[in-house]
Amino acid sequence: MKILVTGANGYIGSHLVSKLIDKGHDVIACDLANDNIDQRATYCHADIFSCGDKNLYTFFGEPDACAHLAWRDGFVHNSKRHIEDLSAHFRFLTNLIDNGLPRLMVMGSMHEAGYHEGKIDASTQCNPMSLYGIAKDSLRRALVLYCQSAKCRLQWARGFYIYGDDIRNHSIFTKLIEAENRGDKTFPFTSGKNKYDFMSVGELASQLAAVVVQDKYVGIIHCCTGKPVSLGRQVEAFIASHNMHISLDYGAYPDRPYDSPCIYGDNTIIDKIMKETR
């Protein structure tokens, strides 16, 4: 297959590009830079926010599918850019759809669900509590309606808590590495009690690659493990596995009000996809 990947130079996108190429697919890698993009991909320098009115499906070589991962300020949950960019995402994607794109996969987020306790599945009602979550949820709802009347199959790949390649991901694991390198003895931490569905970026890329190349399953697909683990346990394991000498200062920071006490995904569909695409 020929697959267009937007945000191909990003934290997740760069891993997805390599996974798809490893599986024998042709990848058109779209981004503003290419320092992290697999050199086997066909790189296309393009700003999705200012592509104009040209036929983007033809411009990108008429791909069989698009994996849309491009997103600004993904680690800054209340950045105004999430809302400001929303119409540009919709305009870019509907241009591809209108001109012939047959399949679209978009990267979603657990933050669409909002404050929640327990497992979420495709039927879970969303009540996002950050600008990031609101923007993702709004784009999903708009695309569901749009694709119902267009000949394009929509896959909404909802991600959860991603780790790995930690110097690039701006997460708590990045901050831990930086603190350890500074020689800090303690690390200010929350209660650590919140439970999340953790997955390495490499495994996430494998799941995303499997989702976008198949057309049996559409709609919301949770890319996850289906197993909740406390943040404290995951971070303590990270410290131990990296032989760090830093210790966590529990309770130094309050838990964020929009962070769920326990949130994890229903992995039923993704498990089927992974088995069927081996």
Residue positions annotated with a catalytic role: 132
**Tokens linked to 189:** 């931490």
**Residue 108 CA: distances (Å) to CA of 137, 231, 263:** 8, 21, 15
Longest Cα–Cα distance in the chain: 58
Of residues 244, 237, 254, the one with CA closest to residue 188: 254
- Asked if 231 and 196 count as a contact pair (C-beta separation under 8 A), the reply is yes
- Phi/psi at 49 (nearest 5 deg)? -85, -5
Q: Which residues are registered as beta bridge partners of 27? A: 3
**Tokens linked to 172:** 């708590």
Instruction: Show the beta-strand stretches assigned E in 46-204.
Output: 65-68, 103-109, 117-120, 153-159, 161-163, 186-188, 195-196, 198-200
The residues, any chain, with a CB within 8 Å of residue 63's CB and separated by 6 or more, are: 2, 3, 4, 28, 57, 101
- Asked if 159 and 203 count as a contact pair (C-beta separation under 8 A), the reply is no
d(CA 21, CA 239): 33
